[in-house]
């Protein structure tokens, strides 16, 4: 049967990335407390394609994914990147797994346990025989507006905000480390389950720690800078302002140009 893909290309241009996008699979990820947890990921896989070939072989991405170790971690990502490069006879390979990650949180006074979910991703790039891995987490927090508190007789507007971090890893980094950094950067963490005593504590604690998006992004950046396993980072904060119909936004980017390829 004819292999059209391996034929010559009409236009002699190299393609940076070609592959599959928006696949969904169940998988396991490493969990600091329990060893591992089950979740579901959305997956993108790609390789480069030299100027002389018409097309890549898309089904091989699916075979590589099917044959990958079912626990997603640094090692299985590294293997998959090498496997993609080999199966597709490519020079470079890229992968990205996006998934919700669940952590048991305890309410601050009653210690009632409940699961919180965090949107995460693990992104990997293999180029010139070097593998670079990037970890991403979105952490919801509460922000209390310092200006509103300072100028109002009582009260202050507060809202849910998200801290989005992407970091280049240097060795093994726990998602929990990034989640903690996010939680510590706002006026208060958010929780799945709060009883009245907890709600009183969270309200008063947040009210005593007002923070603009500018404060939150700096709080996170200073912590990310100080972490020994983090080589570079980008942190964005988006606050869904309760007095407006738009967001307040701040970003500090120390990922460098390294992550663009």
Looking at residues 115 to 134 of the shown chain, list those that interact with a second copy (rule: CB under 8 A).
115-117
Which part of the chain contacts a second copy (CB under 8 A), choosing from 35-43, 122-130, 167-175, 176-184?
35-43
Instruction: Say which DSSP state 75 is in.
Output: H
Tell whether residue 33 is a contact of a second copy (CB under 8 A). Answer: no
Tell whether residue 19 is a contact of a second copy (CB under 8 A). Answer: yes
> How many C-beta atoms lie closer than 10 Å to residue 113's C-beta?
11
Spatial distance between the Cα atoms of 120 and 137, rounded to a whole number of angstroms? 4
Which of 94, 165, 98, 166 is closest to 124 using CA atoms? 94
Tell whether residue 11 is a contact of a second copy (CB under 8 A). Answer: yes
- Which of 55, 78, 227, 229 binds a second copy (CB under 8 A)? It is 55
Residues in 147-176 at the binding interface with a second copy, rule: CB under 8 A: 147-148, 150-160
Spatial distance between the Cα atoms of 230 and 239, rounded to a whole number of angstroms? 25
Q: Which residue has the tokens 């990502």?
A: 77
Which part of the chain contacts a second copy (CB under 8 A), choosing from 19-27, 83-91, 125-133, 169-177?
19-27
Residues in 220-259 at the binding interface with a second copy, rule: CB under 8 A: 221-222, 238, 240-253, 257
Answer whether 115's CB lies under 8 Å from 125's CB: no
Of 102 and 174, nearer to a second copy (C-beta) is 102
Spatial distance between the Cα atoms of 164 and 178, rounded to a whole number of angstroms? 10
- Which of 59, 130, 226, 228 binds a second copy (CB under 8 A)? It is 59
Tell whether residue 190 is a contact of a second copy (CB under 8 A). Answer: yes
Which part of the chain contacts a second copy (CB under 8 A), choosing from 34-42, 68-76, 120-128, 173-181?
34-42
Which part of the chain contacts a second copy (CB under 8 A), choosing from 43-51, 79-87, 166-174, 176-184?
43-51
Spatial distance between the Cα atoms of 68 and 80, rounded to a whole number of angstroms? 6
Spatial distance between the Cα atoms of 199 and 123, rounded to a whole number of angstroms? 37
Tell whether residue 77 is a contact of a second copy (CB under 8 A). Answer: no
Tell whether residue 71 is a contact of a second copy (CB under 8 A). Answer: no
> C-alpha distances in angstroms, 221 versus 77, 181, 185, 256?
26, 9, 9, 14
């Amino acid at each position: 049967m004819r292999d059209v893909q391996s034929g010559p290309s009409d236009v002699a241009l190299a393609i940076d990335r070609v592959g599959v996008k928006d696949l969904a699979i169940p998988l396991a990820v490493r969990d600091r407390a329990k060893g591992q947890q089950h979740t579901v990921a959305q997956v993108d896989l790609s390789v480069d394609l030299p100027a002389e070939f018409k097309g890549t072989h898309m089904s091989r991405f699916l075979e590589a994914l099917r044959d990958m170790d079912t626990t997603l971690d640094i090692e299985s990502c590294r293997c998959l990147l090498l496997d993609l490069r080999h199966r597709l006879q490519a020079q470079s390979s890229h992968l990205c797994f996006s998934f919700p990650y669940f952590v048991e949180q305890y309410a601050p006074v009653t210690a009632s346990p409940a699961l919180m979910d965090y949107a995460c991703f693990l992104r990997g790039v293999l180029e010139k025989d070097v593998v670079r891995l990037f970890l991403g987490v979105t952490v919801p927090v509460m922000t209390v507006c310092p200006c509103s508190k300072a100028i109002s007789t009582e009260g202050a507007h507060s809202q849910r905000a998200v801290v989005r971090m992407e970091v280049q890893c240097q060795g093994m980094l726990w998602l929990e480390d990034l989640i903690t950094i996010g939680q510590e950067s706002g006026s208060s963490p958010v929780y799945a389950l709060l009883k009245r005593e907890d709600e009183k504590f969270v309200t008063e604690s947040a009210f005593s720690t007002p923070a603009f998006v500018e404060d939150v992004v700096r709080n996170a950046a200073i912590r990310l800078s100080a972490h020994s396993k983090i080589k570079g980072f980008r942190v964005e904060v988006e606050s869904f302002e309760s007095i407006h119909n738009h967001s307040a936004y701040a970003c500090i980017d120390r990922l460098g140009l390294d992550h663009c390829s």
